[in-house]
C-alpha cells in the first residue's frame, strides 16, 4: 500500500535513548590542545564521572579490524575535518549504553569530551541520545594550544599533532566548532574556563564553577 500524504509529511519523532532526569551529560569543549582530556581525568577521579572522548572513540574505531569506517575516519582526522556525525553519535551512544548496562547502579554521569564539534552533532545527539546539562568550555589562545600540541606530538604518535594538521584543526575549530559554543551560550548553557594557566589552576576554576552550578554533591 502506498503511504498516505500524512505519513510522508509526518516528521520522524525521536525520543532520546537516555532521560536527562536519570543520566547527566556534560559536554566538554575547547580548541585542540586546550586541556580537555587533562581536566576530564581530574573530574573522573574526584566526581566519579565516566569520560568518553569522541576523538578517542574515533581513533579506536579507525583501528578496529572490521570497521567499515576505518579509512574514512583516518583521512578526516589527518585533515582536521569533522567526521560525518552519524558515525560519532553512534559510537558515543554505544559506549554510554555499555556503561549503563554493565553497572545498573551507575548514576550515569558522563563527560562527553570533544563533542559536539559541529551543529548537526549537537542537535542529533540531544534529540536522539540525551540532552546535556551544559557545556564546560576551555578557552585558550591558539599560540598556547599550538605549543602544547607540538610538544605532545613528540610522543603522542597521533597523525594530526603536526604543524600542518594543527593549522587545519584550528580552522575547523573557529569555523565549525565555535558556533556550537555560541549556540549553547545563547541558551545560558556554557561554563567558560580560562585554560591558559597551569593544569592545577585550571582545575581549581573548573571545580569552583561546577560546584557553583551543581552544588557540592553531584
Which residues make up the interface to ligand C5P (CB under 6 A)? 32, 54-55, 58, 76-77, 80-83, 88, 114-115, 117, 121, 160, 169
Q: Between residues 24 and 53, which has the closer beta carbon with respect to Mg ion?
A: 53
- Within the chain, residue ranges assigned H as helices are 5-9, 36-47, 54-63, 70-78, 85-102, 119-128, 142-156, 163-172, 178-186, 199-214
76 binds, among Mg ion, ligand C5P, none (CB under 5 to 8 A by kind): ligand C5P
Q: Is 90 annotated as a binding residue?
A: no
Q: How far is the CB of 11 from Mg ion (least distance, A)?
A: 35
Distances from the Cα of 166 to the Cαs of 12, 27, 57, 77, 84, in angstroms?
Answer: 38, 22, 20, 11, 20
Q: Is residue 70 within the footprint of Mg ion (CB under 5 A)?
A: no
Q: Which is nearer to Mg ion, 16 or 37 (CB)?
A: 37
The CB-nearest residue to Mg ion is 37
Binds 112: which of Mg ion, ligand C5P, none (CB < 5-8 Å by kind) = none
C-alpha 93/C-alpha 74 separation (Å) is 21
When asked if residue 20 is in the footprint of Mg ion (CB under 5 A), the reply is: no
The candidate with the shortest Cα–Cα distance to 165, out of 23, 156, 86, is 156
37 touches Mg ion (CB under 5 A):
yes
Q: How far is CA 107 from the centre of its chain?
A: 20
Amino acid at each position: 500500500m502506498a503511504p498516505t500524504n500524512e505519513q510522508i509529511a509526518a516528521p520522524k519523532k525521536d525520543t532520546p535513548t537516555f532521560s536527562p532526569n536519570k543520566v547527566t551529560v556534560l559536554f566538554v569543549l575547547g580548541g585542540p590542545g586546550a586541556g580537555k582530556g587533562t581536566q576530564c581525568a581530574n573530574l573522573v577521579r574526584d566526581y566519579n564521572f565516566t569520560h568518553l572522548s569522541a576523538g578517542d572513540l574515533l581513533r579506536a574505531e579507525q583501528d578496529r579490524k572490521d570497521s567499515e569506517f576505518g579509512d574514512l575516519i583516518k583521512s578526516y582526522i589527518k585533515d582536521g575535518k569533522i567526521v560525518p556525525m552519524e558515525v560519532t553519535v553512534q559510537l558515543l551512544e554505544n559506549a554510554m549504553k555499555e556503561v549503563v548496562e554493565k553497572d545498573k547502579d551507575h548514576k550515569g554521569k558522563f563527560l562527553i569530551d570533544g563533542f559536539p564539534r559541529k551543529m548537526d552533532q549537537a542537535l542529533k545527539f540531544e534529540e536522539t541520545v540525551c540532552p546535556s546539562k551544559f557545556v564546560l568550555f576551555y578557552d585558550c589562545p591558539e599560540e598556547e594550544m599550538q605549543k602544547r600540541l607540538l610538544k605532545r606530538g613528540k610522543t603522542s604518535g597521533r597523525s594530526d599533532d603536526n604543524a600542518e594538521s594543527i593549522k587545519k584543526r584550528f580552522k575547523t575549530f573557529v569555523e565549525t566548532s565555535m558556533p556550537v559554543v555560541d549556540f549553547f551560550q545563547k541558551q545560558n548553557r556554557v561554563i567558560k574556563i580560562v585554560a591558559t594557566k597551569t593544569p592545577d589552576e585550571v582545575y581549581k576554576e573548573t571545580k569552583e564553577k561546577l560546584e557553583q552550578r551543581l552544588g557540592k554533591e553531584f
